[in-house]
Structure 1
Amino acid sequence: ERIAATWAERSGRIARRREPITGVSEFPQLSQAPVEREPAPAGPGGGLPVVHRDEAYEALRARSDAHLAATGARPRVFLAALGPAAAHTARATFAASLFQAGGVEPVHDPVSVDAATAADAFTRSGATVACICSSDALYAEGAAPVAEALKAAGALRVFLAGRPGEQRETYLRAGVDEFVVAGGDAVAVLTSVLDRMGVA
């Protein structure tokens, strides 16, 4: 019971990326080929239960891999970065790492968008969901019209990277569906995204 309780606590930390797994929940690289190796020999029966720290993320990646094999492309998220690189790089990097941990390929092209260009850039990206990334100051100026443009262009879900603060209701009314933050449940977010995208 104590082992199970410890694993449940650790699983929560892993899901929230508070206990990072390099190459899996942090700094994943979708283009990297999986490691091929001989299976481990079967151990003796009994003993402690076997758990794998990365099993939740690997299950998400397996869904993405199957989608890639079936369609020729991974599920994608469009990173709608506002303003100059100095304003959006930190949150765009956070969002890219978060989504790649679940096998969702980030598309960050063009480097920056605004309300006039976001819809066209989203459509060209081939993504079905989007994540707005920038500083709090630029969010206050441009996040709401960009969210509206992304929704009008057909985004199934619009995320905003960071805590919304007092602007929460404004962003929700404009079309932001969810806020992704450090310490949030990444596994739950990624599972929901893949479900909404129809990735089996």
Structure 2
Amino acid sequence: MAVYALYHQKGGTGKSTLAVALSWRLAQSGASVLLLDADDQGTASHWYESVGEALNLPLLVRHQLLQTLPEALPRFTPQFEHVIIDAPPRLETALVDLLAICDRLIIPCRPTLPDIWSLEGLSALLAQAQAKRAAPLPAMIAINHYRGEDLGPLHAQAVAYHLSVMDAPIPWDPAFAALFSGAPLPEHFSQLLENLLPR
């Protein structure tokens, strides 16, 4: 079982949208996927209740409190190939325990410096999580909602926080928002979403 967490403490970065789209894409490929909605806003849960369940894919969405995730994850191991966690947008010590057991951290960011500046606290928590792990945690900033902005300053700030940035930014696309009204997952999303996964 591979466990991916999507996290950013700021709202509006597209975290929940990417969690839903990535889960959908993996399930379309035939993999069994569990999307754990730990965000208080419940975006992923609402999507599943209104649209996702009717897709008849090997995809299940469940609400889960952040504090209970490390304890709950082992019982899902025999049932799912992938677990996607839509983490809540806040810094707290429970995040350290979650990151200590994840296989990858995906950090969606809009192409603005304030989105990167707000990751300073996450950088400190990530260092604590790394100390609890047997192997380094791959953590990747995914530039989202990209419209051709100069990414040089963002890359420089990410380096200062010891974070790497995904090579290909995810462009702004109205089709992402359309997913929540039941529009199909466009084929051109495939490579964009696969870039979020380890190679």
Q: TM-score, normalised by structure 1?
A: 0.38
Which structure would you say has the larger Rg? 1
Q: TM-score, normalised by structure 2?
A: 0.38
More helix, by proportion? 1
Higher relative contact order (CA 8 A, sep 6+): 2
